[in-house]
A and B are shown apart, each in its own frame.
Chain A
Amino acid sequence: MATAAATRARRSDVAPPRPPTTKGRPRVNRTFYLFLVPALVLFTLSITLPAIMGITLSFTDSVGFGEFQFTGLTNYLALFSDPAIRSSYAFTVGFALVTVLLVNVLAFLLAVGLTAKIRAKIALRAVFVLPMVISGIVIAYVFNFLFSNSVPQLGQAIGVTALEQSLLANPDLAWVTIVIVTAWQAIPSALLIYIAGILSIPGEVYEAAAMDGATPMRRLLSITLPLVAGYVVINMVIGFKNFLNAYDIIVGLTNGGPGTATRSVAMTIFTGFTGGDYAYQMANATIFFLIAVVLAVVQLRLTRGRNAF
């Protein structure tokens, strides 16, 4: 990751007005160190130190306190054969993929609508961005009530048997509720990015297309979509990364249940506190970290070539 980031930074480094000097440069003003060092020290103590400690403990049999022994790769070997761990990853990745698709399709369509010639544009944008400021767990509790009461009522009224029982109690479908609520909350930020993307397309392009007689649908597919493709990639990667950390909304809806059907990776890691699996879940967290790094590299690669925005 560092290499990719460095390459990028060096390239953008050409932009600053001040040319880098290498010889005979004056001493750095001490104030600059005073500006930077507090952040570095606090950061090291609260991010780097825990990271190192966590990775170290993942090679032990620690339960979080008391005596422990180094056990080498034992935890990692055990992780790969643990069905509970595998199913939490399967659930989390599957959930993140479905959610990221749903969020982006809906956010894109809304962005198209919200950049079209409409009435009350600002007010409508404000409405669709509103969910962003609401706490995930709180809205999940609200939805929990709706899924337990209103949705079954609706199911009875329209005669859909699948909906008559609470979705939350259905091990095969509970994940759908999590997707819905997560999307409800995550659409705003994706929406804002798409709006910015669509607004950055020069109007002349549309005028030319209109003169050639392209239909609105054709214009949407042949002009808008390709021109905001970069934003789509960004939104997909960012969204996927965020959804992998799913926790709040699941706590409010199913708490990982029924059974362990909707237990996310983050949730599994946190069981390390109470279940005596401290070091084991540290190993899980380390694997999770490696996945995050891979995703970050993917993100950097994908976004590097698109300086259009």
Chain B
Amino acid sequence: MPTTRTARPPAPQPPPDPGATSPPTLASRDVSRRAFLRGVGAVGAGLALGACSRGSAGSGTTEIVFFQSKPEVIGYFDELIQQFHDAQSKVRVRHDATSNLAGSFVRERPPDIGCLNYNFEISRYVERGVLSDLGDMPEAGRILPGLQPLIDVTATYPDRTSVIPYSLMAAAVLYNRTIFAEHDLTPPTTWDELVAVCDTLTAAGVTPFYGTYKDPWTIAQGPFDYSVGGRLDTTRFFNQLKRQGTNVGPDSPVSFEKQFLDPVEQMQQLLPYDNPDAASRGYGDGNLAFASGEAAMYLQGPWAIGEIAKTAPDLDVGAFPLPMTDDPADRKVRVNIDLALWIPEGSRKKDAAREFLAFLMQPEVIDAYNAHALGFGVTTDTAPVTNPTLVELQEYYDRSAFYLGASQLVPQSIPLQNYTQSLAAGAAPEPVLRTLDADWRRLAFRS
């Protein structure tokens, strides 16, 4: 079971905030005590030999480096590695959870196999061809065909299967079933119903939404992604946007200013239903407040369920997609490929890495992981979710009524999270979206 639990958001690792979070060192950060103890022995050798210490771990066995840094499941993967070691003796796996991944590629010392959130960050690795082709592995054939568009819109490399999805997160509005029942409310299926639910709650003295706008990523992945994804097909939008190249602006068929304006305005209409101190609350505060029943709804993904359960293990939490139109059939859930496996071209031990990959992809191993991490399975032979909150979302997943969060498709060099934070603070949407268009144009110009 996981030994490391932090209040950090799990799945959607927020990208380093360009201004406010950690300084851009290329060393790893947040070093755990464990990592430190592990390092003790390496000092002498490290000083003298540097990279030479990366050789094989002994005669007959191959040591591979496995990069996986999702904080909530580091302990879980440690146990999986142990099982793998018990099952065979040829390949030893060293779990790296702290290195700076970009740094390791820049230094041309990438890990042998990685298991990471598949988003704008990993798209660079795919597009520059530093991840090897896994298309010949039988495991690649087991992936649900419905996921291919999501993989392709994030990043592709000609004729390569660069990543194999491992776990998918489906996110929607979390709601307190008890509070809803107390006020005879059912999850809304249209925008008008949603507003009515909020009004009813407000009239009864209950805060409808708990906002945590101090942490910009919670806005980007919550209100912003839900509003945008509830109104438009993000896959189509971003594919079209990419086709337009530098032609993004007032005169282009597709632009942030055009397509995002309505959803963002709707998102701002919901702001008055937030807790009054939303601007100064963070993710940790939000989990605590929602767990203690301070609000009826919480725009957070399944990663928050475990955090909420820490405070209130018995809280009856449900989930529904944020309805943004007047047609109940338009409702969709936000998904992201929370973990995907890849093997860098630069690895000199691809065969050993593939062995470990095949082990991780065994049906019982991958299903057990997804059940544990509250993820949805990504293979054709997968088991359905059992979590009492997430069962409400299974039907959407089964009929592919899902979209990728827009915030996951905007490259890191555009400070989207900061923009959504100013939107949540009430900034006029047009100038913000125009800035976004301009940023996109500039990025397209130089890439």
Contacts and interface: CB of A to CB of B under 8 A. Distances in A.
Interface in B406-441: 411-413, 415, 418
A74 B18 contact: no
Contacts of B105: 64-66
A260 B413 CA distance: 13
A280 interface: yes
A230 to B, nearest CB: 38
A274 B412 contact: yes
Interface string B271-288: 000000000000000000
Interface residues of A, number: 34
B446 interface: yes
A255 interface: yes
A52 to B, nearest CB: 18
B181 interface: no
A253 to B, nearest CB: 11
B442 A78 contact: yes
Contacts of A68: 128
Interface in B8-53: 16, 18-24, 26
Report whether over half of chain A's contact residues are helix, strand or loop; otherwise say mixed. loop
B249 to A, nearest CB: 14
Nearest to B21: A255
A260 B106 CA distance: 25
Given A61-B447, A78-B442, A276 B130 contact: no
Contacts of A274: 16, 24, 100, 102, 412
A71 interface: yes
A271 interface: yes
Interface string B102-116: 110110100000000
B19 A78 contact: no
A278 interface: yes
Given A66-B128, A276-B411, A276-B413, A255 B103 contact: no
Interface in A218-268: 251, 255-261, 263, 267
29 contacts: A61-B446, A65-B105, A65-B106, A65-B130, A66-B128, A67-B129, A74-B445, A75-B446, A77-B445, A78-B442, A78-B446, A84-B415, A251-B23, A255-B21, A256-B18, A256-B20, A257-B19, A260-B19, A260-B418, A263-B19, A267-B23, A271-B413, A273-B100, A273-B106, A274-B412, A275-B411, A275-B413, A276-B124, A276-B413
Given A61-B447, A257-B20, 13 more contacts: A61-B446, A63-B124, A64-B105, A65-B105, A77-B445, A251-B23, A255-B19, A255-B23, A260-B18, A273-B102, A273-B106, A275-B412, A276-B411
